[in-house]
Amino acid sequence: MSNDQERGIPVNAQRTAVVVGHGMVGHRFVEALRARDDSAAWRVVILGEETDPAYDRVGLSSYVGSWTRDDLALSGNSYPDDPHVVLRRGERVTEIDTAARTVGTSTGAELDYDALILATGSYPFVPPVPGHDLPACHVYRTLDDLDGIRTAADAALARDPGAVGVVVGGGLLGLEAANALRLLGLRPHVVEFAPRLMPLQVDPAGGEHLARLIRALDIDVTTGAGTSVIEPLPDDAGVRVTLSDDTTIDAALVVFSAGVRPRDEVARAAGLAVGERGGVLTDLACVTSDPAVYAIGEVAAVQGRCYGLVGPGYATAEVVADRLLGGDAEFPGADLSTKLKLLGVDVASFGDAHGTTPNALDVVVSDPIGGTYAKLVLSDDAGTLLGGVLIGDASQYGILRPLVGSTLPGDPVSLIAPAGDGPALGIGALPDDAQVCSCNDVSKGALCAAIADGACEVAALQGCTGAGSSCGSCVPLLSQLLAAQGVELSQGLCEHFTQSRVELFELVRASGIRTFTGLIARFGTGTGCDICKPTVASILASTSSEHILDGEQASLQDSNDHFLANIQRNGTYSVVPRVPGGDITAEQLILIGEIARDFGLYTKITGGQRIDMFGATVDQLPLIWRRLVDGGMESGQAYGKSLRTVKSCVGTDWCRYGQQDSVQLAIDLELRYRGLRAPHKIKMGVSGCARECAEARGKDVGVVATEKGWNLYVCGNGGMTPKHAQLLAADLDRDTLIRYIDRFLMYYIRTADRLQRTAPWLTSSAGGLDRLHAVVVDDALGLADDFEADMARHVTGYSCEWKGVLDDPDKLARFVSFVNAPGAPDPTVAFETRNGRKVPLLIGTPTVRPADDSEEKIA
């Protein structure tokens, strides 16, 4: 029986589309076809040469530091629930027989096809320099390539901490490779044959400006020179690179990043027509010289031209998906604009950046002191924007790029050097057919239509149009467009406060008001509600060390905070003592077990390495906590919008892979941040090595050990929309790590919306991770000292909330089931044993019970 029959696919009932290559474009094609193929007319077989399924090759450099392949995986790349898609990984196509319509693979298999889609992409070009094949020479293209570079860099640094890494190629990928070498600890030296860096994207003046900024980062740059020969140094000490100007560089390794070439070798061997400069020749429908064969992505020479960007590649994928389903789509042309941050430097180019249009005019604003360069290319009458280059500050890229080919809405100089109080150019200046999202070809008109249909939030616009879901550079424009379309994005917390949570936070700090009634009397209206009361209670708790049940604050709390415990479905509560870093003594384990036995509680080990005790009635809570506090334990605050847990692995204590003491750091972090109130719950993790047993990168704050120190990741979370945390800073010593976490947490607490976790907070923040890095690491706001002082105040003023209750008779008085009958049992609380577990029995609610006569009801 064939593999397809085993999967329940009737082989003869469908036409078969074989996709050769499983990169970003190949995956996009499969997604597009399956989304539209309602009748399942096509069965898709994917042949991927790499063992990894489709991943974000554009974000390849982000692999450095995390070394976690899953972080780059594209959503749905293994098609687990689609019976009409077969993915064969690690299998390369070796032969195409267009007459028989079959492909042969490296495993010896022969597959029939009705349509063949070539998505083989490209390969790195390595100049035929003598010595290019030495073991110290690498390319920068795949995850495996980066693993090889990492291994070589680690070995080199062990011999020489000041080791140099040469990058041959100063284009886009070359500078990314240089950044990767820098992150690995090498000193990069970029060699570019052209007279400037990024010769395809920027003009000569922009290239000089860029080189100056790059050199300021301790990266050597040589332009206008080629590589003549690479020779091994004695004793495996690296290689000597000789340039065309006779300069020599002794380096630990060499990375070739001198451009790419389309992978058309199998197509050539099959007799398919190819372009003059390579690539499989296609028409605008992406059909090759054989009508049953299509080419998409970097390998496709559409009307003779190959495109090396993901946006045009996605467009070809959409065209072929439409054609296979009977459509008449054609390749719409390509937007070759690029915007990125290289080594922390903004670089953008769009349209005719080099001014090749006859009689084009250049408008240039250069500020070498401020580190910015901007050029607009205009038509000969200075009325139409043709293109431009932005270096150092690319904030206007989102507006200027869609204006290419349109009449300028104002003075060209003011667009790149706005002065005084003049109005900034906004999205209202764009025509409806302007392409706001080039990755997914979404126009302003399409976005406006989506808003008219009810998509009135950024996330909703992303979901229904795809805009901003790839590179993300257009996300700020989505907020602008919502505002321009009259969508009132109210910042008011609720009907009682016109201020946002952020504004209320600052009002509390500035005014010194410490009560809700005082705050609403001065800055709000009415008596408050279940939105503003807990929010203000959280702000008050975040800005002082007062007990949350002191005075008026007690009435502001929600149900959980009111009783310092999580209420469960049957009205009972759970008790969760803190276990810092998951580190617990035998005596504490025994104490928890005795309490659970004596009070008849159900126990469960949580995902945060603590023990949860379920089933306590409200009047039992003080009795339980008295024993816990006397035993040296304290509130785990599982009920609060605050730090929950700091999960850890066993680190260097027990694990043979551990690189740092993750257990002690986790304990220290949990004890430092315990009790810290925030807009939402905060979870942390500390892993002792890159194997990530503590799952730190799924946390709001994740710390991963390296040989040199600690990598700090932020803004991850689980839940309905899981997000991986992103690398904020690498190889930190312990003190710097803690300072950065202090700053990050205080910045989040001050600026997040109510009930907003760190991941959506970062997504919605202007500037994203780059802005966050500037604030936390570079102190761009000048508030680092304030943040650290606030955290120091919290650490000094912390006290266990439950101990505060036990020491205060007034607070203890609230912990009764019935005010008019203290001590009386709650008749609505009952339990049963099901499958060996104690579970709540909902009184008055029919319960489906298994046929097990041995079950005992517990009253």
Task: Give residue-wise pLDDT tens across range 386-402.
Answer: 888 888 887 778 778 88
Residue 669 three-state SS? helix
Q: Is the dihedral of CA 79, 81, 84, 88 positive or negative?
A: positive
Residue 817's pLDDT is 63
Where are the alpha helices (H) located in 273-339, listed in sequence order? 310-324
Query: What is the per-residue pLDDT across 677-701, written as a single tens digit (0 to 9) for each?
Result: 999 999 999 999 988 999 999 999 9
> pLDDT by residue (tens digit) across 603-652?
999 888 999 999 998 889 999 999 999 999 999 988 889 999 999 999 88
Report the SS3 class of residue 286: coil
pLDDT at 701 (0 to 100): 97
The answer to whether the pTM exceeds 0.85 is: no
Q: How far is residue 228's CA from residue 377's CA, in Å, rounded to a whole number? A: 37
Q: Provide the phi-psi class of 663: left if phi over 0, else alpha when psi is between -120 and 50, else beta.
A: alpha
As a whole number, mean pLDDT of residues 790-808 equals 92
Q: Which residue has the higher pLDDT, 319 or 448?
A: 319
Q: Identify the pLDDT of residue 792.
A: 94
* Cβ pair 92, 106 in contact under 8 A: yes
Looking only at the bridges linking them, the beta strands covering 710-714 and 435-437 are: unpaired
Confidence band, pLDDT 50/70/90 cuts, at residue 857: very low
**What pLDDT score was predicted for residue 1?**
38
Q: Give the HSE-up count for residue 714: Cα atoms under 13 Å, Cβ half-sphere.
A: 26
**What band does 204 get if pLDDT is binned at 50, 70 and 90?**
confident
Contacts of 22 (CB under 8 A, 6+ apart): 46, 47, 48, 49, 50, 53, 54, 77, 87, 89, 119
Tokens of 73: 């995986």
Q: What pLDDT does residue 737 have?
A: 97
Q: Where are the domains of the chain?
A: 3-122+262-324, 137-258, 501-523+530-563, 643-799, 829-858
pLDDT of residue 398: 77
Element (H, E) at 367: strand 361-367
What tokens does 77 get?
């790349």
Spell out the residues 6+ positions from residue 6 whose beta carbon is closer than 8 angstroms to its own: none
Could you report the per-residue pLDDT of 41-57, keeping only the tens digit for each? 999 999 999 999 999 88
Q: What is the torsional sign of CA 27, 32, 36, 37?
A: negative
What torsion, rounded to 10 degrees, do the Cα atoms 725, 538, 456, 30 define? 20
pLDDT at 489 over 50: yes
Task: State the CB neighbour count (10 A cutoff) for residue 65.
Answer: 19
Residue 775 three-state SS:
helix
The reported pLDDT for the residue numbered 450 is: 87
User: In whole angstroms, how far apart are CA 210 and each of 257, 389, 394, 586, 748?
Assistant: 18, 11, 13, 60, 33
Instruction: Please give the residue that has the higher pLDDT: either 237 or 466.
Output: 237
What is the predicted pLDDT for the residue at 825?
61
Choosing among 4.10.1240.10, 1.10.30.50, 3.10.20.30, 3.50.50.60, the CATH entry for 137-258 is 3.50.50.60
Residues 6+ apart with CB under 8 A from 68: 690, 692, 697, 724
Confidence of residue 826 (pLDDT cuts 50, 70, 90): low
Cβ-proximal residues to 367 (8 Å cutoff; 6+ apart), any chain: 373, 392
Q: Are 692 and 704 in contact (CB under 8 A)?
A: yes
pLDDT at 844: 46
Q: What does CATH list as the number for 3-122+262-324?
A: 3.50.50.60
How many Å apart are CA 44 and CA 52, to the nearest integer? Answer: 18
Tokens of 832: 């049963």
Mean pLDDT score of the chain, rounded to an integer? 86
Say which amino acid occupies 233. Answer: L
The amino acid at 40: A
Whether the domain at 3-122+262-324 and the domain at 137-258 fall into the same CATH topology: yes
Strands (E), 461-595: 566-567, 573-575
pLDDT at 474 over 80: no
Residue ranges with strand state E in 68-206: 85-89, 93-97, 102-105, 110-112, 115-118, 122-124, 137-139, 164-168, 187-192
Closest CA to 598 of 579, 572, 574, 616: 616
In the structure, what pLDDT confidence band is assigned to residue 425 with cuts at 50, 70 and 90? Answer: low
Write the DSSP assignment of 678-704 as a string of letters: -SS-EEEEEESSTT-TT-GGGSSEEEE
Report which of 595, 553, 30 is spatially closest to residue 318, judged by C-alpha positions.
30
**Greatest mean pLDDT among 92-101, 388-397, 529-538:** 92-101
More confidently predicted of 567 and 785: 785
pLDDT in tens, 52-85: 999 988 778 878 877 888 888 888 899 988 999 9
Name residue 838's beta-bridge partners: 833
The tokens describing 181, both together, are 């070498």
Q: Are 258 and 125 in contact (CB under 8 A)?
A: yes
CA distances from 364 to 196, 367, 374 (A): 18, 10, 6
Contact 501, 509 (CB under 8 A): no
Give the list of residues 6+ apart from residue 550 with CB closer than 8 angstroms, or none. Answer: none
Residue 8: the pLDDT is 42
* pLDDT band at residue 853 under the 50/70/90 scheme: very low
Tell me: pLDDT of 11 over 50: no
Q: Are strands 345-351 and 338-342 parallel, antiparallel or unpaired?
A: antiparallel
Count other C-beta atoms under 10 Å from residue 333's C-beta. 11
The number of residues making up the chain comes to 859
Return the pLDDT at 258.
Answer: 87
List phi, psi (to 5°) of 788: -70, -35
Return the C-alpha torsion angle 162, 165, 166, 168, nearest 10: -160
Q: For residue 155, how many other CB atoms are within 10 A of its CB?
A: 13
CATH architecture of 643-799: 2-Layer Sandwich (3.30)
Burial class (CB in 10 A: 0-12, 13-18, 19+), 559: exposed
Query: Rounded mean pLDDT of 739-748?
Result: 96
497-504 average pLDDT score:
86
- The mean pLDDT value for 730-752 works out to 95
Do 299 and 279 meet the contact criterion of CB atoms below 8 Å apart?
Answer: yes
Residue among 2, 7, 172 at smallest CA distance from 83: 7
Contact assessment for residue 18 and residue 96, using Cβ atoms and an 8 Å cutoff:
no
Give yes or no for a contact between 655 and 689, defined as CB atoms under 8 angstroms apart: yes
User: Tokens standing for 409?
Assistant: 């809405």
pLDDT in tens, 285-320: 999 999 999 999 999 999 999 988 888 899 999 999
**Model confidence band, residue 842 (pLDDT cutoffs 50, 70, 90):** low
Average pLDDT value for residue range 112-117 = 97
